[in-house]
Structure 1
Amino acid sequence: MTFQVTVQPSGQQFSCEADETVLAAAIRAGVGLPYGCKNGACGSCKGKVVSGSVQHKAHQERALTPDEAAAGYSLFCCATTGADLVIEARVVAGSSDYPIKKMPSRVTTIEKVAPDVVVLTLQLPAAERLNYRAGQYIEFMLRDGKRRSYSMANAPQDGGPVTLHIRHLPGGLFTDQVFSTLKERDILRFEGPMGTFFLRDDSDKPVVLLASGTGFAPLKAIVEHMIHTQSARPVTLYWGGRRPQDLYMDALCRQWALELPQFSYVPVISNAQEEDRWQGRTGFVHQAVMADLPDLSGHQVYACGAPVMVEAARHDFVQQCQLPEDEFYADAFTTEADLAK
């Protein structure tokens, strides 16, 4: 059976099959509902069910609390319906401008930039081009129908190979392969672009970019996009890691800070050891933002990295720093371990 979904306040409508999630149906129809992980862990797709009812597949309670569910909120990436729906959600302008497509890619380089991080470069077919917005991601299609998501780490304007930053998770289905058997010239299939994590170009507000670990990847693409478009918006990048080696492109960020008059860079280390001889900021990276910018009411924040960091930043920036909730954009990097918790 097919049901009708109406989105308020935009008035857009799309059809949803009985066995299809609301988000999957919206993506298929080209309606730009916000989303990130697509597996019930990040909360980016949260919206309200105004009329009708939904059933939820398994999801993380931190992404949708029992109180929120009781108040009519839903995670549309996990929600299916057996009736027509009216939902309340922001429609993200531009998120469906580029078609999602499947394509093969050839591994051209695998560069180890930290003990547990590689930069993977993929060459696309000669007749193909992947159009995307800086900050979006692709999904590798693995055996048995499993998928793994990685953000593009380069801006789309260069038109060349796609680069990804991949951190090794021991026991990980895909990352074990990347760090052991994957070699140059191997073929990997993916689908993309996906996600609604990208710079809102219609704003002139100062930008805070907040990353932990390889959450730096899509933020790097956003900075490169802003350089390409000659954006005059002030940008401050806060990048956090446990040890200095986790900031695997620290030199590039420092170069940006020297060359770009509107760009500032604040590296933050949470677990420096004596041998690191770290002289910079320490502690949790989102708390460094709060110390420097206690009033975020006039800013936009783009946060990417571990779910615990993203959620702490979302809560504290809104509750303590007056950040408007709809000016916090996030992409939480959820792992299989996160989903199993």
Structure 2
Amino acid sequence: MSAGPFQITVQPSGRAFAANEGEPILQAAIRQGIGMPYGCKDGACGSCKCKKLEGTVVHGEHQSKALSAEEEAAGFILTCCGVPQTDVVLESRQVTDESAFPVRKMPSRVLSLEKVSHDVMVVKLQLPANDTMRYHAGQYIEFILRDGARRSYSMANAPHNGPGVELHIRHMPGGKFTDHVFTAMKEKEILRVEGPFGSFYLREDSGKPMVLLASGTGFAPIKALIEHMQFKGITRPATLYWGGRRPSDLYMDEWVKARLAEMPQLKYVPVISNALPEDNWTGRTGFVHKAVMEDFPDLSGHQVYACGAPIVVDSARAEYSAVCKLPPEDFYADSFTTEADKHGK
């Protein structure tokens, strides 16, 4: 067996690229501007799963919910942690090459911090004026911390609303980065970022009506999609389902309602799972992904864009296909894995 580099061929597009010895397939694709679907890059979400047609791939550490032993035995791989040992042929829904913006590192400065609920901070970052980051609404950036650790956050504004970026950061008590954001971060602080990452963005080559599914701060990239739709004059019908435990978790409810007045194609269904009597909540209750199934028992002609907690995204992915006839290729997702999720805790 040779020591690489190995040729990776993606079917049905026939596109080929090289992976170095020891290099995961996805890392090689990103390095060379080849667009492939992915989410967390950490073996936790399953967004990069695809079928191996030929060759040998060895997996690094990953979670069984992202790739089960049965799936691996059936020839499925995770490109984010799959390292080729030979030339490999894959079957994958490829993102078009033109859509892959260059991934770059750059400094950013904290412009503003706004606490919009008890555990959500809206952080606005200024990027270098002479070095604009190009990205798709829905993609994410990573903070590179001093110790080399990384934290990923979706950009909550569409690129035309730049040149800075808006992030919605939920406080995870005990998490070193979010503790810093909520207790010590100051305006003008300098942070290193890298991006854009992710294959979560609006597929504009389709006219299908859309379901936009968000839980908690999963609303951030959905907000960017809505801004992008408004900016581009996209009139496809879209229904936003935003779920939270309490009404205060829908921290930009008024922003959504203002868009409804401007975008007749947009509908909004807020869903609360754990309202207390003092909330006086009279709207929909229960699990947000279930509310979609109640309203859309047949999703066969729709696209779904889902973002938020892994349990919500994973449940929606499985149940919409199995119960509501959604074609799997029409489910686009960004699963918000925490550091604990990534380590299977």
* Counterpart contact for 2:57–2:82, Cα < 8 Å: yes
Q: How does 1:106-145 map to 2 (within 5 A)?
A: 106-145=109-148
> Which residue number corresponds to residue 226 of structure 2?
223
> Which residue number corresponds to residue 149 of structure 1?
152
Cα distance in 2, alignment partners of residues 278 and 201 from structure 1: 36
| One-letter amino acid of the counterpart of residue 107, structure 1 | V
> Which residue number corresponds to residue 280 of structure 2?
277
CA deviation after TM superposition for structure 1 residue 340, in Å: 2.6
Cα distance in 2, alignment partners of residues 143 and 279 from structure 1: 46
* Counterpart contact for 2:35–2:100, Cα < 8 Å: no
CA deviation after TM superposition for structure 1 residue 319, in Å: 0.6
Q: How does 1:89-108 map to 2 (within 5 A)?
A: 89-93=92-96, 96-108=99-111
Unaligned runs of 5+ in 2: none
> Which residue number corresponds to residue 77 of structure 2?
74
* Counterpart contact for 2:19–2:28, Cα < 8 Å: yes
Cα distance in 1, alignment partners of residues 97 and 290 from structure 2: 32
Asked if 1:174 is matched to 2:177, the reply is yes
Cα distance in 1, alignment partners of residues 103 and 342 from structure 2: 25
* Counterpart contact for 1:31–1:96, Cα < 8 Å: no
SS of equivalent residue, structure 2 residue 183? coil
> Which residue number corresponds to residue 201 of structure 1?
204
- Tell me how large the CA RMSD over aligned residues is: 1.0
Cα distance in 2, alignment partners of residues 285 and 94 from structure 1: 34
Cα distance in 1, alignment partners of residues 208 and 232 from structure 2: 16
Kindly provide the CA deviation profile for residues 160-219 of structure 1, in whole angstroms up to 9, marking residues without a partner as x: 221000000011121111011110000011000110000000001001000000000000
Runs of 4+ off more than 3 Å: 94-97
> Which residue number corresponds to residue 235 of structure 1?
238
- With over 3 angstroms needed to count, the CA separation of the structure-2 counterparts of 1:203 and 1:96, relative to structure 1, is closer
Cα distance in 1, alignment partners of residues 129 and 330 from structure 2: 38
% identity of equivalent residues:
61
Kindly provide the CA deviation profile for residues 79-124 of structure 1, in whole angstroms up to 9, marking residues without a partner as x: 0022111111111125743111110010010000000000000011
Cα distance in 2, alignment partners of residues 162 and 329 from structure 1: 22
CA deviation after TM superposition for structure 1 residue 242, in Å: 0.4
SS of equivalent residue, structure 2 residue 13? coil
Cα distance in 2, alignment partners of residues 95 and 309 from structure 1: 31
Asked if 1:161 is matched to 2:196, the reply is no
TM-score (norm 1): 0.98
CA deviation after TM superposition for structure 1 residue 232, in Å: 1.1
SS of equivalent residue, structure 1 residue 189? strand
Kindly provide the CA deviation profile for residues 125-183 of structure 1, in whole angstroms up to 9, marking residues without a partner as x: 12111110000000110122210000000010123221000000011121111011110
Asked if 1:57 is matched to 2:87, the reply is no
Q: Find 2:42's aligned residue among 14, 29, 39.
A: 39
CA deviation after TM superposition for structure 1 residue 259, in Å: 2.5
Cα distance in 2, alignment partners of residues 184 and 94 from structure 1: 37
Cα distance in 2, alignment partners of residues 128 and 107 from structure 1: 17
Q: Find 2:323's aligned residue among 320, 325, 331.
A: 320
Cα distance in 1, alignment partners of residues 190 and 131 from structure 2: 15
* Counterpart contact for 2:33–2:97, Cα < 8 Å: no
Q: Find 1:298's aligned residue among 279, 301, 306.
A: 301
> Which residue number corresponds to residue 257 of structure 2?
254
* Counterpart contact for 2:35–2:97, Cα < 8 Å: yes
> Which residue number corresponds to residue 30 of structure 1?
33
Cα distance in 1, alignment partners of residues 101 and 191 from structure 2: 21
* Counterpart contact for 1:242–1:269, Cα < 8 Å: yes
SS of equivalent residue, structure 2 residue 194? strand
| One-letter amino acid of the counterpart of residue 182, structure 1 | M
Cα distance in 2, alignment partners of residues 217 and 24 from structure 1: 25
Unaligned runs of 5+ in 1: none
| One-letter amino acid of the counterpart of residue 264, structure 1 | K
* Counterpart contact for 2:24–2:79, Cα < 8 Å: yes
Kindly provide the CA deviation profile for residues 213-234 of structure 1, in whole angstroms up to 9, marking residues without a partner as x: 0000000000000000011100
